[in-house]
Structure 1
Amino acid sequence: MRILVIGAGALGGYFGARLLAAGRDVTFLVRPARAEALSKNGLVVKSRAGDLKLASPRTVTSDRLEGHYDLILLSCKAYDLEDAIQSFAPAVGDNTVIIPFLNGLRHIDVLNARFGKERVFGAQCAISAALSPNGEILHLVDLHTLSFGEQDGKRSPRRDEIVEALTGANFDAEVSDNIMQSMWEKWVFIATAAGTTCLMRASIGDIVAAGASGLIMNFLDECGKIAAAAGYAPRAPYLERTRPLLTAPGSPLMASMLRDIEKGSRTESDHVLGDLLARARAGETPILLNAAYAHVKSYEARRERESSK
């Protein structure tokens, strides 16, 4: 199976490196500068699950992409999705499957419209990883799980082939018969964490210390109602696991969106908060979600105004 990994950053680089080390046929679609760095320094992973240094992994730039691939692993920032699609579109054939790692659901709609639902799997990954200043991939905690499945939950020979390709590579590959439910639940959690920590400019533990854990639960309830209206009400076991994570005293949990704000970087607010808000029932405006989205968009407007001076 020919596997094309889009980018060689923290997520795509990590899973792609594990697959390459396990003997899979992996190519990384990267920009020229990253291709040069990988050729010179190799692809390096630092992890308690086992360090890797893969000399000169196979790379390709978008202008040199040839032939179709069986599997495309897509990891990028939500606001880079359109550019990413343009870069890998020539690699998509009749039997290609795309597994995207992005949060939310907008990317699924975009990929379905461009390539057809039959070529797009639902997926989510649970991993904490970062790219160091010198280009090494730092796996920060033991968790490294990739869950995926066809959007309609069917079990097909094609899915079985992908399961075989992704297992045995020193990360947890989990096939799901209900991946869209899982993606909605993760979206509810991420939107709640991002919305509350950005709105309050504080970690979960700080918000709890301020006596505002009720605000977090109200935010979770707003997001959960939107999911329920779409036919994906968060399941009871999920909520039982989630509530303690969002109300733990002293928790350092802080959404990456808030870290982006504190660094003065661009955010994924449209993808995580705005798209969820847009899916609320007609005539309903979730108060907290609306406020959080307006808060982050105001930051982005100020950032753009000040950068244009």
Structure 2
Amino acid sequence: MHIVIIGVGGVGGYFGGKISNSGQKVSLIARGKHLQAIQKNGLHIKSIDGDFVANPFKATDSIDDVEKADLVLICTKSWQVIEAAKLIKPILHKDTIVIPLQNGADNAEKILSVLDHKHVLGGLCKIYSKIEAPGIVSHFGHQPEIVFGELDSSETSRLHLVKKVFDDAGLSSVISQDINADIWKKFMFIATVSGLGALSRATIGEMYHNARLNEILKQTAQEMYKIAIAKQVNLPESIVENIMHFIGKQPYDSTASTQRDIMEGRPSELENFNGFIVKEGERLGILTPVNTFIYSCLQPAEAKARLAKN
């Protein structure tokens, strides 16, 4: 199979590097100094599980240089998903599978606004990773895992074709029986800690062990749960308690990538996290005061970051 990775940051770099390092045919779509370093020296992965250097079949910034793909992993930020879906149209054949792996609750829906449903699976990943320097991706926490499945929860043969790609790369992966619920479980965790972490400038451990911040984390997640239920996502009543327990098990000094982006003045996924909950609450007639407060406080800094980038 020919696997194409769109976005070679912490997520796309790690998973694309692992798949390429297993001898499979991988093309990376990257840009700038990061791309130049990969083209010159390969993609260096620094991992708590062992370092390695991947030499992909191709690394380029032009989709015109890429052969037809059997599997596309979209690993951009959430706000770039629609653009990425438009970008890959020329490399799709009738059976190409497309899986979004970034954070967010509605990435599959965004792709479906551009591509035919026959191409799209739902997906998510679990990993702490980042670009450390051009050509170098650092995996510094969590046992990496990919979860994916059909959006209608059906069992299909192509799911096992995709799983073989991950298995052959030595990656932990799970075929989900309800990928929409699994996406929301991941979303509730990452969006809960990201916004409040950026606002408080505290690590996940500091927030969890501070009684008042712990309560705000819980209230943030409870509002997200109400939105999910209104959208008919199949989540258990215990989900908020489960999320809080999961937050408590994270490394004390860990922070989410969106929190780091906001704190360092870069464009972030704020709109796709707390902003998404606020907008869905308005659409559905559900009050989201905690998410609204977090989003409103962070939005001016987000606007400045995006203005500076442009």
What TM-score comes out, normalization by structure 1 length?
Answer: 0.89
What SS class does the counterpart of residue 140 from structure 2 fall into? strand
**Contact 1:209–1:249 (Cα < 8 Å) also in 2:** no
Q: Structure 1 pair 204/164, CA: closer, same or farther in 2 (3 Å)?
A: closer
Which residue is equivalent to 1:287?
Answer: 289
Which residue is equivalent to 2:202?
Answer: 202
**Which string of whole-angstrom CA distances, capped at 9 and with x for unpartnered residues, describes residues 141-185 of structure 1?**
251101111111111122222122221312202111111110011
Supply the AA of the counterpart residue of 2:210.
A
What SS class does the counterpart of residue 115 from structure 1 fall into? coil
Which residue is equivalent to 2:87?
Answer: 87
Distance in 1 (CA, whole Å) between partners of 2:210 and 2:163 is 44
Distance in 2 (CA, whole Å) between partners of 1:270 and 1:86 is 21
Supply the AA of the counterpart residue of 2:145.
T
Flag structure 2 segments of 5+ consecutive residues without an equivalent.
none
Which residue is equivalent to 1:219?
Answer: 220
Distance in 1 (CA, whole Å) between partners of 2:121 and 2:251 is 37
* 1:13 and 2:13 matched: yes
**Which string of whole-angstrom CA distances, capped at 9 and with x for unpartnered residues, describes residues 174-230 of structure 1?**
111111110011112222112322343433444443634222222221111111111
What SS class does the counterpart of residue 195 from structure 1 fall into? helix
Structure showing greater radius of gyration is 1
Task: Answer with 261-270 or 208-217: which moved more.
Answer: 208-217
**Contact 1:38–1:57 (Cα < 8 Å) also in 2:** no
Please state how far the C-alpha of 1:118 moved relative to its aligned partner: 2.1
Flag structure 1 segments of 5+ consecutive residues without an equivalent.
none
Structure-to-structure mapping, 1:140-159, within 5 angstroms: 140-159=140-159
Task: Answer with 235-244 or 210-219: which moved more.
Answer: 235-244
Which residue is equivalent to 1:60?
Answer: 60
Please state how far the C-alpha of 1:33 moved relative to its aligned partner: 4.7
Please state how far the C-alpha of 1:266 moved relative to its aligned partner: 1.2
Q: Structure 1 pair 32/65, CA: closer, same or farther in 2 (3 Å)?
A: farther
**Which string of whole-angstrom CA distances, capped at 9 and with x for unpartnered residues, describes residues 95-132 of structure 1?**
11111111113321110111122211111101111212
**Contact 2:86–2:114 (Cα < 8 Å) also in 1:** no
Supply the AA of the counterpart residue of 2:267.
R
Distance in 2 (CA, whole Å) between partners of 1:61 and 1:20 is 18
Distance in 1 (CA, whole Å) between partners of 2:284 and 2:260 is 32
Which residue is equivalent to 1:36?
Answer: 36
Task: Answer with 198-207 or 144-153: which moved more.
Answer: 198-207
Supply the AA of the counterpart residue of 2:8.
A
Task: Answer with 174-183 or 197-206: which moved more.
Answer: 197-206
Which residue is equivalent to 1:232?
Answer: 233
**Contact 1:20–1:26 (Cα < 8 Å) also in 2:** yes
Supply the AA of the counterpart residue of 1:256.
S
Distance in 1 (CA, whole Å) between partners of 2:95 and 2:229 is 33
Which residue is equivalent to 1:71?
Answer: 71
Distance in 1 (CA, whole Å) between partners of 2:199 and 2:253 is 16
Supply the AA of the counterpart residue of 2:161.
E
Please state how far the C-alpha of 1:134 moved relative to its aligned partner: 3.9
**Contact 2:122–2:148 (Cα < 8 Å) also in 1:** yes
Please state how far the C-alpha of 1:56 moved relative to its aligned partner: 6.1
Task: Answer with 227-236 or 291-300: which moved more.
Answer: 227-236
What TM-score comes out, normalization by structure 2 length?
Answer: 0.88
Q: CA RMSD in A?
A: 2.6
What SS class does the counterpart of residue 190 from structure 2 fall into? helix
**Contact 1:48–1:142 (Cα < 8 Å) also in 2:** no
Number of aligned positions between the proteins: 307
